[in-house]
Chains A and B, each alone.
Chain A
Amino acid sequence: MNRYIIDVLNYAELVFCLIALAALVYRKQLSNYRYLAALLSVHALTGVILMPLLLMISKRLEMHVSSHVYYHTYWYVFSLGNAIEAALGFAIIYSMFRMAMAPLKGVQSLGMLIFRWAISISLAVSFGSALLPHNITGIKFLVSLAVEMQRTQSIMTLCLLLFVCFAIHPLGLSYRSRIFGVSLGLSIKATAYLVISAWTSTYGTKHLYSANNIAGGIVTCLIFVLWTAYFIVPEPKRRIITLPTTSPFLRWNQISQVLGDEPGFVAIGGVPPELFAPAELEIMHRASRQMADNPLLQKSQSA
């Protein structure tokens, strides 16, 4: 029974993934959501590679050969595909944050600086964890790297969703905005990943067609349907952002816009008179004459 459901889910996952990609193309959103399109393409490609092998196992054709080919293909293709998907996940989070913060340029630049640091640290931790002595060979390293990257990316995705969800009104967005839809889809994927990981590490996989694959397949299909719906339904226009003058968003935006600006320069000596414009020289002459004529003014200026 499980085998039949998983076979159906494998096809459904591939079909829904391609439909979501087609919705993105249809709405001409490839430039804004290029990392999401890349993620969907990598996911579809992985499915296309694994599908015939699984079909061979399912139909019990060349059982011994096909099961070993599937085993090796799974770990190589799937771990490489998932390492790429995790890296693209980081890129999606980064681009969603940039798009969400677009109206507040100051906070955007400051937030993106912090975001870049957080992503760099996450990637460094993933590489560090994957580079354990017993993982030094190619495939073991690749699997470890993919798992660690998925974990850190899942945590960062949930942080992004919390931010977008609670700051949605000050940012002029609504729950029907694609930025929220994409973040929500990624967060459901992140939560499902952490739950299924806990499930697999606690109970293990007794056979190839386990119930955790059914759960994973259903969640993945739902995410693709959610993204398709968000891209098919026209997105409401971003509201005009009106913030109270006491809003911390406004205050931080003003502070951040000033941060990093080039400082001004003041000439304090050695300036030849020919550098000044005639009008400036005239003002200086008049000021000097006024000071000479009125000694009281000169005294108050020097005080």
Chain B
Amino acid sequence: MKTIVRAFVIALVLTAAVASTHTSSASTTPQLAVSSWPLPQCSPAETCDNPTSLQ
């Protein structure tokens, strides 16, 4: 049990570490949070014709 939990925690931390190196701060549509709420295609920092396109 102890080993499984520790292995899971280490996997979690390593995944986060790898993911953080691939995150660009200059992203046009910044991810605000982990949620199912749909993220519009463009942020207020840019302009787009249809920010909430369904297709």
Contacts and interface: CB of A to CB of B under 8 A. Distances in A.
Contacts, number: 170
B35 A13 contact: yes
Nearest to A161: B9
Contacts of A135: 45
Contacts of A184: 9
Contacts of A68: 51-52
A213 B35 contact: yes
A47 B37 CA distance: 8
Interface string A189-221: 111111111111110111111101110111110
Contacts of A46: 37
B9 A208 contact: no
A165 B44 contact: no
B31 A196 contact: yes
Interface in B7-54: 9, 12-13, 15-16, 19-20, 22-25, 27-41, 43-45, 50-54
Give the most central of B9, B34, B40, B55: most A CB within 10 Å.
B34
Contacts of A212: 31, 39
A158 B44 contact: no
B5 to A, nearest CB: 5
B13 A158 contact: yes
Interface residues of A, number: 72
B37 A10 contact: yes
A187 B9 contact: yes
A210 B39 contact: yes
Contacts of B38: 6, 54, 74, 208-210, 213
A202 B43 CA distance: 15
A71 B31 CA distance: 14
A134 B44 CA distance: 12
Nearest to A204: B29
A9 interface: yes
Contacts of A207: 41, 53-55
A189 B32 CA distance: 12
Contacts of A165: 5-6, 9
A208 B30 contact: no
Interface of B: 1-2, 5-6, 9, 12-13, 15-16, 19-20, 22-25, 27-41, 43-45, 50-55
